[in-house]
Structure 1
Amino acid sequence: MARRRGLSDDDLKLWRLVAREIEPSRSTEKRLKAEARRAAEAAAAASKPAAAPPKKPQPAKPAPQRRAAPAPAPPAPPERPAAPGRGRLAGVDRRTAERLRRGQYPIDARLDLHGMTQAQAHQTLALFVRQCHAAGKRCLLVITGKGGRVRESADGPFVNPEPPGILKRRVPEWLKQADLAPLVLATAAATPGHGGHGALYVLLRRRREP
C-alpha cells in the first residue's frame, strides 16, 4: 500500500492563515445578536395583554339642587274678643242667633231688677228662670239698667246702694252658673226698643216632656 503523503510545513502554515481568515466577522455577530434581541422583545410584547384604550372624560354631574325649606305658616290671627253686651250665642245656629239679636222672638216674660241688691237680684233671677222654664216659656227679657244711680226723689237716697252697673255685669255671670246654665240656651243684648244695653234677652232651652 502506498503511504499517504503528509502535509508539508508550508502547507500547514497556509492552512492556519486560511483558518484565521474564515472566523465569523464581528459585524455579523453583532447583527445576529441584535436580531435575536429584537425577536425576544417582540415575543415579550406579544405575550403582554393589550392595553385598554384611555377612557373618555365623563362630564361632571351637576350638584343636586336643594329644595328650599317651606316657609312657616303665618300665625293665626288672634281671636277678637266678643263685643260687650253681645251675650252668649255659642252653640246656637246662625238663624237663631240673628233672630235673638234682632229681638224677633216674642217676649214671654219680663223681669225688672232695678233697685235690688246683688243678693236680692240673684235670688229673684234664679227663681224667675226656673219658673219660666218649667212653664215652657222661651224668650225672657231681664232689665238690669245701664248702670246709672237712681234716687227716689231729688233729696232722697239712691234706690240701689250697689255700685253703678253691677247688675248689668253680674246677671250674665249668674246665668252661666251651674244651677241656671242647663236651662239657658243663649243670651244677647236687647235692641233699643227693649231697653238696649240696659236689658238682656234670655233664650231658654225647650223643656223636655217627662
Structure 2
Amino acid sequence: MTRRRRTPSEAELALWAKVAETVAPLPGRRLALPAAPAVSASSEPAPAPAAETSPAALSAKTAPAPTLTPLAPLEARFRRRLVRGVVEIDARIDLHGLRQEEAQRRLVTFLQGAQARGHKLVLVITGKGAPGADAYAERGVLRRAVPMWLSSPAARGVVVGFETAGPTHGGTGALYVRIRKSGRL
C-alpha cells in the first residue's frame, strides 16, 4: 500500500520557516527549507498565519528561560549497592497522610536540612495511595506531586536527581533523592 505525501499549505510553510529560523544547523550542514508550492494567479491571497497570535509565538518572542541541567539518575552500580543494602541511606521522611501543602512544606524543610547536614542520599516515602472507586483512576496524590516538586527549578539548588526506590525501600511508593553539596549549583 502506497501513501501519498500531503503537500503543506502556505501557512504551514510560513510557520515552518519561522521555526527553522530559531534553529542552528549542525556543524558542516546547512538548513534546508522545503520548496514553496506554486501559487496560481486565480487563487486568493493566503491569510496571515495564525501562529502570529498563538501562545507559542508569543512565548517565543519573550526572553528565553535559562536552561537547567537535567536531573541525574542514580548510576546502575550505585543503585544495585543501595538496593542490596551495601550503601546506607543518610535520612528518610515519610509523607503518608499529609495534605499537599503540609507535605510540600515538610519536604522542602527536610531537603534543606539534609543538604546543610551534608547528606548525599535520602529516601522520600510518598506511599502508593489508596485505590480509587474507578479502576482507571490514578492512585496517590503525593506519589504524583512529589516528583513534580523535585523537578521544579526551585528545587535544583538542593536536588541532583531522584529515582523510584527499590522494592526493599518501598518500591513505587518511595523515591531515592540525591542531594547537592552546599554551595554548588
- Using the size of structure 1 for normalisation, the TM-score is 0.45
| Deviation for aligned residue 1:113 | 0.3
CA 1:116–1:98: 2 relative to 1, 3 Å: same
| Deviation for aligned residue 1:103 | 5.6
From 132, 148, 152, the equivalent of 2:130 is 148
Q: Work out the number of aligned pairs and report it.
A: 106
1:61-80 aligned within 5 A: none
Q: Deviations over 1:92-116 (max 9, x none)?
A: 48xx521454362420000000000
Matched residue SS, 1:173: helix
Partner of 1:183 in structure 2? Answer: 158
From 62, 80, 83, the equivalent of 1:102 is 80
CA 1:91–1:199: 2 relative to 1, 3 Å: closer
| Deviation for aligned residue 1:90 | 4.6
Amino acid at match of 1:142: V
Partner of 1:15 in structure 2? Answer: none
CA distance in 1, matches of 2:78, 2:143: 18
CA distance in 2, matches of 1:187, 1:103: 16
- Report whether the alignment pairs 1:173 with 2:148: yes
- Report whether the alignment pairs 1:130 with 2:108: no
| Deviation for aligned residue 1:165 | 0.8
Preserved contact between residue 146 and residue 198 of structure 1 (Cα < 8 Å) = yes
Gaps of 5+ in 2: 1-68, 132-137
| Deviation for aligned residue 1:179 | 2.5
CA distance in 1, matches of 2:88, 2:172: 18
CA 1:113–1:90: 2 relative to 1, 3 Å: same
Partner of 1:59 in structure 2? Answer: none
Preserved contact between residue 159 and residue 178 of structure 2 (Cα < 8 Å) = yes
Preserved contact between residue 100 and residue 201 of structure 1 (Cα < 8 Å) = no
| Deviation for aligned residue 1:91 | 5.9
Amino acid at match of 2:158: L
CA distance in 1, matches of 2:179, 2:81: 14
CA RMSD across the alignment: 2.5
| Deviation for aligned residue 1:169 | 0.7
Q: Percent identity?
A: 41
CA 1:100–1:196: 2 relative to 1, 3 Å: farther
Amino acid at match of 1:195: G
Matched residue SS, 2:76: helix
| Deviation for aligned residue 1:201 | 0.2
1:1-210 aligned within 5 A: 90=70, 92=72, 96-102=74-80, 104=82, 105-148=87-130, 164-208=139-183
- Using the size of structure 2 for normalisation, the TM-score is 0.51
Preserved contact between residue 100 and residue 188 of structure 1 (Cα < 8 Å) = no
Preserved contact between residue 127 and residue 174 of structure 2 (Cα < 8 Å) = yes
CA distance in 2, matches of 1:121, 1:100: 28
